Amino acid sequence: MGYEKMVRLSGIAYESLVNGPGLRRVIFAQGCKHKCKGCFNEDTHSLEGGEFMNMDDIIEDIKDNPFLKGVTFSGGDPWEQADKFSYMAPNIKALGLNIWCYTGYTFEYILENKDKRAGWNELLSNIDVLVDGKFEEDKYSANLRYRGSENQRIINIQDSLQSGKIVLINF
């Protein structure tokens, strides 16, 4: 089994109702360069932590749960391992599931750098929803759905790419 089939994760939530609509599998990337003050998941920041998991095994396990409505990539920051998540994404989409992805990067930054960073363009083209932006402690509200601070946006990626302008989803 080659290293190329391995992704460094901090963990997996096998059934979640809070990381996007419907019953979801949440894959938590290990590694985040943003290190937001007040982050709820600080143990995912180290690029060396977590454990390696086989991506094909993760995909097979998702396939085995017929109740899942979607998969969420969270972290850490999945964009630090976009080459790995971009491998999993089309395989998950082929199962008929939608994909949400959280990142501390802004959508604009990802668009500017999508051709410069490994896997960014491929990941972008295979996700449905992006929750973007760093967590900002002073903009936290317990009333927000699917995001931690008011600066973060919930973006319909495919509609945004097609229209050339950001299409927000409001909950």
Q: Is the pLDDT of residue 2 over 70?
A: no
Residue 47 contacts by C-beta under 8 Å, 6 or more apart in sequence? 8, 30, 31, 33, 80
**Cα dihedral sign, 29-35-37-43:** positive
- Give tens-digit pLDDT for 151-166: 999 999 999 999 999 9
The domain ranges of the chain are 3-163
CA–CA separation, 55 vs 87, rounded Å? 8
Torsion angle (degrees, nearest 10) of CA 101, 45, 15, 90 = 40
- Give tens-digit pLDDT for 6-36: 999 999 999 999 999 999 999 999 999 998 8
Q: What is the number of alpha carbons within 13 Å of residue 170 lying toward its C-beta?
A: 0
Question: What topology does CATH give the domain 3-163?
Answer: TIM Barrel (3.20.20)
Give the containing element (helix H, strand E) for 14: strand 6-16
Confidence of residue 120 (pLDDT cuts 50, 70, 90): very high
